[in-house]
């Protein structure tokens, strides 16, 4: 079953790409020019996240080198191992609702620490992929139209975040353990 | 964020004095900043490829077509947007762009959707039920292709970077419904 599902994962991208290109043929879209135009943004995007990545990765590296992260991981260790959660993923669970680029930085740090094919990396990757930064989105979207009274928006978002975290731990343990 | 940033760095320096790792601390900090740039640059190729492909979907009208299809179910989630086609359309575009991993392209649609909802809002300072529901499902982050994460895994030489697609899809689909559920329940208790 899991093998089959893993194959589904692998097939999704080729299927999407085939669908997009087939539709482009049908609509006679100048696919090459449009592709090149869109691909330019890859550079802008990468350059735009550099300062954030530096800030967060330096922060986490300092916290790790000074032993602060080690202390926190030791505290939470027994609780986390009980649920088969790698202790290295502690930090990413905290950053995911706060900042997208911070979460990317922490993911990169986990890859550095545990290797790219480790379970900790896979869990962290799913956590990163399934997180949209609640506080950032709220301030941007509501800020843009001048809403001051957020009512239950943040609470609902955070409850969904917590559910997402628990689900990520559960689904990953089924897929990758 | 400013205070958190200062606090984290100061506490590291402070703790390093006690554990005697002050020299190591600065080395690690310098290494990390170098590594941050390497990671960002390793993303250029993969993100460029994906943004190029998705641009074809945008320009050929496929993305518009998909959002037309999901506009109907959207009316179930946002019943008070029946007379607001612009909000419906932008919400649909926002969700489709997010699902394809284009957070940057999704934000303008999201803001336009908010503006369209704000036009029909009686109290301009207070968020409507639809606004809150939209924000909640948006932060649940429904994803079909988590492009940046796949890019990072692949740039670091993962054996099988796309294997996270289905788990991520399942998790975000569930949190999508959970967010909707909580938003609907909580809207009764918040003035």
Please tell me which residue of chain B has the smallest CA distance to A24: B60
Distance (Å) from the alpha carbon of B90 to chain A's nearest alpha carbon:
13
Residues of B in contact with A100 (CB under 8 A): 103
pLDDT digits (tens, 9 = 90+) for A50-103: 888 888 888 888 988 898 888 888 888 888 888 889 998 988 988 888 777 788
Residue pairs spanning A and B at CB distance below 8 A: 351
Q: What is the pLDDT of residue B186?
A: 95
Better-scored residue on pLDDT, B187 or B139 = B187
Q: What is the pLDDT of residue B55?
A: 92
B9 vs A37, A62, A176: nearest CB? A62
Separation of CA A64 from chain center: 21
Does A14 touch chain B if contact means CB atoms closer than 8 Å?
A: no
d(CA B175, CA A126): 13
Distance (Å) from the alpha carbon of A173 to chain B's nearest alpha carbon:
10
State the average pLDDT for chain A.
88
Q: Where is mean pLDDT largest: A90-104, B92-106, B119-133?
A: B119-133
Interface test with B, best of A16, A89, A144, A156 (most B CBs within 10 A): A156
Question: In the beta sheet, which residues pair with residue A149?
Answer: B126
Q: What is the pLDDT of residue A127?
A: 94
Domain parsing of chain A, residue ranges: 50-176
A156 vs B16, B100, B132: nearest CB? B132
Q: What is the pLDDT of residue B1?
A: 64
Question: In sequence order, which residues have a C-beta less than 8 Å from that of residue A94 and are 6 or more positions away?
Answer: none
Mean pLDDT of A114-140: 89
Beta carbons within 10 angstroms of residue A135's beta carbon: 15
pLDDT digits (tens, 9 = 90+) for B22-43: 888 999 899 989 988 988 888 8
Better-scored residue on pLDDT, A29 or A73 = A29
Does A137 touch chain B if contact means CB atoms closer than 8 Å?
A: yes
Q: What is the pLDDT of residue B165?
A: 94
Question: Does residue B113 carry a pLDDT above 80?
Answer: yes
Q: What is the pLDDT of residue A83?
A: 87
- CB pair distance less than 8 Å for B156 and A111: yes
């Amino acid at each position: 079953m899991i093998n089959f599902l893993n194959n589904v994962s692998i097939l999704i991208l080729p299927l999407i790409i085939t669908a997009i290109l087939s539709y482009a043929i049908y609509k006679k879209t100048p696919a090459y020019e449009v592709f090149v135009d869109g691909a330019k943004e890859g550079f802008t995007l990468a350059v735009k996240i550099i300062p954030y990545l530096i800030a967060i990765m330096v922060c986490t590296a300092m916290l790790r080198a000074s032993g602060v992260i080690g202390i926190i991981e030791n505290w939470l260790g027994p609780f986390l191992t009980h649920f088969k959660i790698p202790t290295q993923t502690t930090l990413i669970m905290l950053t995911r609702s706060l900042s997208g680029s911070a979460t990317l930085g922490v993911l990169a740090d986990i890859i550095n620490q545990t290797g790219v094919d480790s379970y900790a990396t896979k869990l962290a990757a799913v956590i990163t992929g399934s997180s949209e930064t609640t506080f950032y989105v709220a301030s941007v979207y509501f800020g843009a139209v001048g809403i001051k009274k957020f009512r239950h928006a943040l609470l609902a978002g955070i409850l969904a975040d917590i559910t997402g975290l628990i689900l990520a731990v559960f689904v990953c343990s089924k897929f990758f353990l | 964020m400013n205070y958190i940033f200062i606090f984290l760095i100061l506490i590291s320096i402070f703790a390093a004095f006690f554990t005697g790792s002050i020299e190591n601390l600065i080395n690690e900090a310098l290494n990390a900043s170098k590594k941050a740039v390497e990671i960002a640059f390793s993303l250029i190729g993969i993100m460029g490829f994906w943004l190029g492909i998705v641009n074809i979907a945008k320009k050929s009208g496929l993305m518009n077509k998909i959002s037309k299809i999901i506009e109907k179910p959207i009316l179930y989630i946002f019943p008070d947007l029946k007379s607001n086609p612009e909000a419906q359309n932008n919400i649909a575009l926002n969700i489709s762009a997010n699902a394809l991993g284009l957070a940057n392209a999704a934000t303008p649609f999201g803001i336009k959707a908010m503006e369209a909802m704000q036009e029909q809002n009686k109290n301009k300072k207070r968020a409507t039920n639809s606004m809150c529901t939209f924000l909640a499902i948006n932060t649940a982050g429904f994803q079909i292709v988590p492009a940046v994460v796949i890019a990072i895994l692949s740039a670091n030489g993962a054996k099988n970077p796309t294997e996270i697609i289905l788990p991520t899809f399942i998790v975000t689909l569930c949190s999508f419904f959970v967010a909707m559920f909580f938003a609907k329940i909580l809207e009764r208790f918040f003035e």
